[in-house]
Amino acid sequence: MASSRTDGSRKTKAGDAVASRQKQLEASSQGPENLLTTNQGVVLPDNHNSLKAGLRGPSLLEDFILREKITHFDHERIPERVVHARGAAAHGYFELTRPLVEYTKADFLQEVGSRTPVFVRFSTVVGSRGSADTVRDVRGFAVKFYTREGNYDLVGNNIPVFFIQDAMKFPDLVHAIKAEPHNEMPQAASAHDTFWDFVSLMPESAHMLMWVMSDRALPRSYRMMEGFGVHTFRLVNARGVSHFVKFHWRPKLGKHGLAWDEAQKIAGKDPDFHRRDLWDAIERGDFPEWELGLQLIDEDRAGRLGFDLLDPTKLVPEEVVPITTVGRLVLNRNPDNFFAETEQVAFHPGHVVPGIDFTADPLLQGRLFSYTDTQLSRLGGANFHELPINRGVCPFHNFQRDGMHRMLINKGRVAYEPNTLGNGSEFRVDGGEQGFQSYPEALESPKIRRRSPSFDDHFSQATLFWNSQSAAEKEHIIAGYQFELSKVETPAIRQRVVDNLAHVDMRLARKVAEPLGIAVPDPKAAAGRSGFREAPATKALVESAPSLSMEGNGNTIQTRKVAILLAPGAELGAMKVIQQALLDAGATTKVVAAQLGPVSSSSGQQVPADHTFQNMPSVMFDAVLVPGGAAAAEALAKDGNAVHFVLEAYKHCKALCLIGESVQLLRLAGVVADDVPAPAGVVFGSNEPTARLQMAQDFIAAIAKHRHWTRALVEQVPA
């Protein structure tokens, strides 16, 4: 429990802030016990039988043990988050690698090497708590820093812009994208009429829609996605000088996406795919890591960007303002209890510390109200800051009192200020230098309920994003729109979407329209609609920004999962060499076979299978390795599940290494033939010892590329 002292301990250097935070949490933790008691501590005589009037008689109301147990159970659930209900979280630390004294007085951003404990929650936005992880959606990326000056929350997303510009439209957006209210369908999906109805009437959503239709909305892993603060914030230094700042989290493993067909299948095969991936990586000791990067912009530069920094539908390309790396985030401990930590954690963009401040972004301003307000119903009252996961590591003291579930026992008779009966006269009331000082931004304008014309250009950055994508990424965006609109039943809505798209890029609009059987998009139709404020497109400072593409990103195979398909008679020689090379490069391998138990190799060696083709299908892996051996290849070729495994990995453009005779698995589908070069990302080779090392290197290089999106004949393979 936080102490109520206001002594100077927040200034003393914590020896190891991360360890003391953990100790603080442990004080509220409980491990398993042998003895069961009631909540009052009375030892239970029996945990199987209720108290009855006779062996076969009715239960007695008097049974306080049964009543307490059932009552507690009846109230186990709390409302899920109204958005971002589905999530997973972990503990870790933030380490500063570059001092920011020049820009901010925030204590945790001063000294290189200082470590601040953090709790980070990732989430999807639209689905309910039990929905699948791999749906097409934005991901939340919320970081709570337990600093010595109070908790600082950076509550961001994995997409750097947002659908809307003003908080006033947030409830409409959420009502439109969530399951439709009459039948609560579809779950965790934007592919339905109400969402597209709304966004097609809100051209300010054009930029964000491009991101959501891209593979950014299908991350391979939380560990392989970027995070963004989205809004422009301020950093303020000790002299009161302010800089605008944009926050970026950049994953050490690179940014990577899934194939859409794959993401949909994973949603059924393992709805916990991202949650499990995060949990397993931390349990294995593969601690996920991100760099914190800042774009620092002074007032003068801000005026020359060509768009309004307060508009959350705009980003600042790093090609225009470079990103300075200032620290690293490491997640190294899984929560002990999902409910107590991941569910009860309460983030709030308004949790700031001295040296970090807001801007007048009208979306951010609305958020500053929403987050405490929502906890009042979600966490049942005003004392949620006392929950162990939400407690700060520095002392706090004020005269806020009472309320549901108050845990702190405030001593004394004084709960007001000023006072002379307590120590009230010691408090500064003269607006002195101490504490959080709001940046004194000059504001003198008439009240007005209107949108600034500087927010009117909705398409230039959507076009910039489009221009910055590789050919394959563009195809994915087109396919994303086509899929979503094919689920929209009202033709006029589909038409409106493509008419709007014509303002982003005519080719994109035509390609989306074609297979939907709708008219060639008409940009003028969009412009004539009410709510469509046409603004002269601002000149983008760059035509294309490679940093917005995910192609060619990352060159490591660390933590990638490789399936080794085994059947009786497999020749293990080359396979073993390649497996070792994969492990040395940091990948993990699993043996997958027709059934569990040992599989006999060609030399009679017994290799235990970790999984079966059905319980761990190809969508659970990043790459596939199949050993040679005529008998094994024959057996796999006759097993529909094995053939499907290989072809599905091929279709999802994953790296494949087929040794010796196992090449026939791809021949069956007609995607390889003698006279055709090996498809991109597919490595063939003989069992000969001389070929092994080269094969291993080629396979590692193929996995490092993540996916071979331009691979030939993918459409020919059945889904």
Active site residues: 84, 157
Among the listed ranges 76-84, 268-276, 454-462, 604-612, the one in contact with ligand HDE (CB under 6 A) is 76-84
Q: Which stretch of DSSP H or E encloses residue 372?
A: helix 362-378
At residue 185, the 3 state secondary structure works out as strand
Residue 287 binds ligand HDE, judged by CB under 6 A? no
Distance (Å, whole) CA 497 – CA 206: 9
Residue 38 binds ligand HDE, judged by CB under 6 A? no
User: Minimal distance in Å, beta carbon 76 to ligand HDE?
Assistant: 19
Residue 314 binds ligand HDE, judged by CB under 6 A? no
Among the listed ranges 79-87, 270-278, 383-391, 552-560, the one in contact with ligand HDE (CB under 6 A) is 79-87
Written in H, E and C, the secondary structure of 429-496 is CCCCCCCCCCCCCCCCCCCCCCCCHHHCCCCHHHHHHHHCCCHHHHHHHHHHHHHHHHCCCCHHHHHH
User: Minimal distance in Å, beta carbon 61 to ligand HDE?
Assistant: 39
Among the listed ranges 6-14, 295-303, 359-367, 420-428, the one in contact with ligand HDE (CB under 6 A) is 359-367
User: Minimal distance in Å, beta carbon 713 to ligand HDE?
Assistant: 40
User: Minimal distance in Å, beta carbon 178 to ligand HDE?
Assistant: 12
Residue 142 binds ligand HDE, judged by CB under 6 A? yes
CA dihedral (692, 693, 694, 695) in degrees, to 10, reads 50
End-to-end CA distance of the chain: 55
- 371 has binding-site annotation: yes
Closer to ligand HDE at the Cβ: 315 or 594?
A: 315
Residue 385 binds ligand HDE, judged by CB under 6 A? no
Candidates 678, 613, 672; CA nearest to 642 is 613
Residue 568 binds ligand HDE, judged by CB under 6 A? no
- 247 has binding-site annotation: no
Among 92, 140, 251, 627, indicate the residue that binds ligand HDE (CB under 6 A): 140
Letter for the amino acid at 380? G
CB 482 within 8 A of CB 136: no
CB 201 within 8 A of CB 496: yes
Among 14, 18, 65, 83, indicate the residue that binds ligand HDE (CB under 6 A): 83
Closer to ligand HDE at the Cβ: 199 or 594?
A: 199
Residue 329 binds ligand HDE, judged by CB under 6 A? no
User: Minimal distance in Å, beta carbon 683 to ligand HDE?
Assistant: 40
Residue 636 binds ligand HDE, judged by CB under 6 A? no
Stretch 442-471: interaction string toward ligand HDE, x if CB under 6 A: ------------------------------
Distance (Å, whole) CA 395 – CA 411: 15
The residue with its CB nearest to ligand HDE is 140
Written in H, E and C, the secondary structure of 24-60 is HHHCCCCCCCCCCECCCCCECCCCCCCCECCCCCCEC
**Which residues, other chains included, contact 709 with Cβ-Cβ below 8 Å and sequence gap of 6+?**
470, 472, 473, 475, 476, 551, 653
Among 24, 374, 544, 641, indicate the residue that binds ligand HDE (CB under 6 A): 374
Strands of 206-302 (E only): list them.
Answer: 227-228, 233-236, 242-251, 289-297
Residue 156 binds ligand HDE, judged by CB under 6 A? yes
User: Minimal distance in Å, beta carbon 347 to ligand HDE?
Assistant: 4
Residue 84 binds ligand HDE, judged by CB under 6 A? yes
Binding residue count for ligand HDE, defined by CB under 6 A: 24
Closer to ligand HDE at the Cβ: 124 or 687?
A: 124
Among the listed ranges 22-30, 162-170, 263-271, 275-283, the one in contact with ligand HDE (CB under 6 A) is 162-170
User: Minimal distance in Å, beta carbon 226 to ligand HDE?
Assistant: 13
Distance (Å, whole) CA 608 – CA 542: 55
Closer to ligand HDE at the Cβ: 84 or 494?
A: 84
CA 191 to chain centre: 20
User: Minimal distance in Å, beta carbon 117 to ligand HDE?
Assistant: 17
- 367 has binding-site annotation: yes
User: Minimal distance in Å, beta carbon 41 to ligand HDE?
Assistant: 33
- 378 has binding-site annotation: yes
CB 118 within 8 A of CB 21: no
Rounded to the nearest 5°, which phi and psi values hold at 562? -115, 130
CB 406 within 8 A of CB 30: no
Distance (Å, whole) CA 369 – CA 364: 9
Instruction: Provide the token pair at 364.
Output: 């951010």
What residues numbered 585-614 form the site for ligand HDE, per CB under 6 A? none
β-bridge partners, 54: none
- 10 has binding-site annotation: no
User: Minimal distance in Å, beta carbon 199 to ligand HDE?
Assistant: 15
| Residue 658: half-sphere exposure toward Cβ, Cα within 13 Å | 26
CA distances to 52, 577, 583, 593, 628 from 685, in Å: 73, 13, 20, 21, 9
Among 86, 121, 706, 711, indicate the residue that binds ligand HDE (CB under 6 A): 121
Residue 82 binds ligand HDE, judged by CB under 6 A? yes
- Helix, strand, coil percent content, the chain, rounded in steps of 5: 35, 15, 50
β-bridge partners, 228: 157, 248
Instruction: Count other C-beta atoms under 10 Å from residue 404's C-beta.
Output: 11
Rounded to the nearest 5°, which phi and psi values hold at 423? -110, 30
Among the listed ranges 8-16, 82-90, 297-305, 530-538, the one in contact with ligand HDE (CB under 6 A) is 82-90
User: Minimal distance in Å, beta carbon 367 to ligand HDE?
Assistant: 5
Stretch 227-256: interaction string toward ligand HDE, x if CB under 6 A: ---x--------------------------
Distance (Å, whole) CA 395 – CA 10: 7
Closer to ligand HDE at the Cβ: 5 or 129?
A: 129
Residue 367 binds ligand HDE, judged by CB under 6 A? yes
Residue 157 binds ligand HDE, judged by CB under 6 A? yes
Among the listed ranges 25-33, 154-162, 193-201, 594-602, the one in contact with ligand HDE (CB under 6 A) is 154-162
- 532 has binding-site annotation: no
Among 370, 538, 600, 710, indicate the residue that binds ligand HDE (CB under 6 A): 370
Rounded to the nearest 5°, which phi and psi values hold at 431? 65, 40
Letter for the amino acid at 657? C
Q: For the chain, what is the total number of helices (H) and then of strands (E)?
A: 19, 18
Per the annotation, binding residues are 81, 121, 170, 367, 371, 378
Q: Which residues bind ligand HDE (CB under 6 A)?
A: 81-84, 87, 121, 123, 140, 142, 155-157, 162, 167, 170, 230, 346-347, 363, 366-367, 370-371, 374
Per the annotation, binding residues for heme are 81, 121, 170, 367, 371, 378
